[in-house]
Amino acid sequence: MLRFLLPLLATATLAFAQTSPSMQRPYGLVIHGGAGVIQRNQMSPELEKEYRAKLAEALHAGYAVLDRGGSALDAVIATVTVLEDSPLFNAGKGAVFTADGLCELDASIMRGDTLQAGAVAGLRHVKNPIKLVRDVMENSPHVMMIGEGAEEFARSRGHERVPNEYFHTGFRRKQLERAKEKESRANNGTASVPLDLTSPGVGGEDWFSREQKYGTVGCVALDRQGNLAAGTSTGGMTNKKFGRVGDVPVIGAGTYANNATCAVSSTGWGEFFIRSVVAHDISAQMEYRGMDVADSAASTLAKVAKLGGDGGVIVLDRHGRYAMDFNSEGMYRAAKISGRPEIVAIYGDEPRR
């Protein structure tokens, strides 16, 4: 009798596990479109609608990949590509201008199962840096490539390349003009770089045009196989000079993923995020101190704030628990985890998890 019952029981249990949402492994993704001074009274209803629609479009592009069993890595690339192609965000088309009036792009990606990573900095012609970083990771022995060398690698791998003008937008051009005017006022007409980047009102805020929302984009994803991945892409900061590179292509600062802990993508004032090694610090707090995603994100951001920096992070763990935390006024953000309600948010008083 038992001989017949046991297989039946096993089949029934398996069928239940496959159909019951509570028994299924969670999967999904969290995205950001940059943190900064984002306030209701500075945003027209039309523009707000555009931002929310584009965030939702990017979220759904990544979720569709995960839903049909695709990898976290593929979901990150699908999502970030939508955001890079949109002029609304500071990545790909719509990137901020350097002091020389060019767009220079940085990006990185990491997978949580193998801890492989790829990064690029100072790109001027690659249409989608998020696609190139995957190639750096998978088809080169390196982790990071910069400038002309990275462009050459992109050419050799057949990536779509565009004139720098493709990235330019009038909105970012105005931001550059305003930043230059402020810089010139702060430096009494000279265009030198202020040494003190931390004292409000002295030089840092002007040089970095801190009052502008930053607009970097990023994504952390968890697939049905339980693997995590993270990716981030940016034009950096308005009026950047001297080949300045921020945290985004620095693995452990702008991007980090480890199946044992979490996947992280950062946005904010890059110099502070590099010094605080933000993405890895969040992972390390989970690994060494047993903290959860929300507490480790808050604790690391508090360290950034103590140094004088601001910005935000998205963090996702293997159980689908996530945080979208920031110490700036707002952060473009969205999340969709299987079996849970979808969130698209912008302002400080909207949900963070």
- Cα separation, 343 vs 332, in Å, equals 11
| DSSP track, 55-71 | HHHHHHHHHHHHHTT--
- Position among 248, 278, 304, 331 found at the interface with ligand ASP (CB under 6 A): 248
Which SS3 state, helix, strand or coil, does residue 180 take? Answer: helix
Give phi and psi for 230, each to the nearest 5. Answer: -140, 145
Closer of 127 and 240 to ligand ASP (Cβ) = 240
Closer of 27 and 51 to ligand ASP (Cβ) = 51
Buried residues in 200-237 as b, exposed as e (16+ CB within 10 A): eeebbbbbbbbebbbbbbbbbbbbbeebbbbbbbbbbb
Closer of 320 and 348 to ligand ASP (Cβ) = 348
270 binds ligand ASP (CB under 6 A): yes
User: What does the per-residue mask of binding to ligand ASP show for 288-317, with x meaning CB under 6 A?
Assistant: ------------------------------
**Residues touching ligand ASP, count (CB under 6 A):** 15
- Position among 247, 310, 317, 325 found at the interface with ligand ASP (CB under 6 A): 247
CB of 272 to ligand ASP, least distance (A): 9
Closest by Cα among 111, 105, 50, 107 to 75: 111
Residue at 67: amino acid letter: D
Closest by Cα among 201, 329, 173 to 346: 329
Residue at 337: amino acid letter: I
Site for ligand ASP in 271-290 (CB under 6 A): 273
Kindly state the DSSP code that residue 166 receives in the 8-state scheme.
Answer: G
Closer of 27 and 269 to ligand ASP (Cβ) = 269
CB of 7 to ligand ASP, least distance (A): 56
Closer of 238 and 261 to ligand ASP (Cβ) = 238
From 18-26, 62-70, 119-127, 267-275, give the range in contact with ligand ASP by CB under 6 A.
267-275
- Sort 92 into a burial class: Cβ within 10 Å, 0-12 / 13-18 / 19+: buried
- Cα separation, 155 vs 102, in Å, equals 20
Catalytic residue numbers read 216
User: What does the per-residue mask of binding to ligand ASP show for 45-84, with x meaning CB under 6 A?
Assistant: ----------------------------------------
Q: What's the full length of the chain, in residues?
A: 353
Give phi and psi for 310, each to the nearest 5. Answer: -140, 165
CB of 249 to ligand ASP, least distance (A): 9
Closer of 106 and 113 to ligand ASP (Cβ) = 106
Buried residues in 57-67 as b, exposed as e (16+ CB within 10 A): ebbbbbbebbb
User: What does the per-residue mask of binding to ligand ASP show for 201-240, with x meaning CB under 6 A?
Assistant: -------------xxx-----------------x-xx---
Which residues contribute to the site for ligand ASP (CB under 6 A)?
34, 90, 214-216, 234, 236-237, 246-248, 267-268, 270, 273
